[in-house]
Structure formats: C-alpha cells, structure tokens
Amino acid sequence: MGDITVDVWLYGALARYGGDADQGSYANLAVRLPAGSTVADLLAHLHLPTGERGFSFISGNISALPGVQPDLGHILVDGDRIGLFDPKSMWPFQYRHGAAMIDEMARALDDWGLRPPEQPAP
C-alpha cells in the first residue's frame, strides 16, 4: 500500500508538537504516514490532542473549527498540506472573505442548520 507524506504547519501554541521543527510561533514538518491514514492518525503521530486545536485546514479547505472537528476520519492523501492553529489564534486573514471546506465540515455545518453560500439547500 505504501506511505504518504503530508506537509504539516502547526501555528501558535501547537508549534511545540513539531519537535525540532518548533520555531516558537510555528513549526513546519513533513510527516510520513501509511497510505489510508486519517487526520486522527496524524494527530496521534504528533501526540497532539484534538481538543487543543482550533481552526484546521486540509490543502486550503477548512476542516475543523474550535469545538467542531468532523475531520478526524478524513483520509489524507500524499502531498496534502495541513494547517493546524491553536484555539487562541485568529481566523487566518486570507480566509476572511469565505473559505472552502472539506465535505465532512460542510455536512457538520448543515447538521446545525448552517449552509455555506456555495451549497444550495437540498
């Protein structure tokens, strides 16, 4: 089955989970995982409790918010870029005019009665 490599960026207080890559306010590391690994597997690999993260992104698509983390079962693919922000981090400025999201996040918001503008009601 092989391995995948994901480009992981840890911001704010989460940088400490980057080990030697910790630059204080961020850490960037390439993480090798078995193919078929999920976000939960990545977090376990980093020893990062899911409750310690806030806004999370997978390849530019929002995957989790503070307290809303439907992405744990999301299967990662080779080359994914993962951005994990601590809960005290502000909404990243490049997403202030809207953010694409993974399907799991869109379904979670829909379950709450919230729907992104680009997704029509069923």
70 occurs within a structural domain: yes
What pLDDT was estimated at residue 121? 47
Residue numbers of the domain that contains 8: 3-111
112: which DSSP letter?
T
The CATH number of the domain where 39 resides is what?
A: 3.10.20.30
Distance CA 102, CA 39 (A): 12
Inform me whether the pLDDT recorded for 103 exceeds 50.
Answer: yes
> Above 70 in pLDDT, residue 5?
yes
Chain segment 34-59, per-residue pLDDT in tens = 999 999 999 999 999 999 998 899 99
**What is the pTM (predicted TM-score) of this model?**
0.79
Contact 55, 65 (CB under 8 A): yes
- Counted domains in the chain: 1
Reported as a single tens digit per residue, the pLDDT across 73-87 is: 999 999 999 999 998
Mean pLDDT in residue range 10-22: 95
In sequence order, what E strands does 12-78 have? 26-34, 56-58, 61-64
**Single-letter amino acid code for the residue at 42:** L
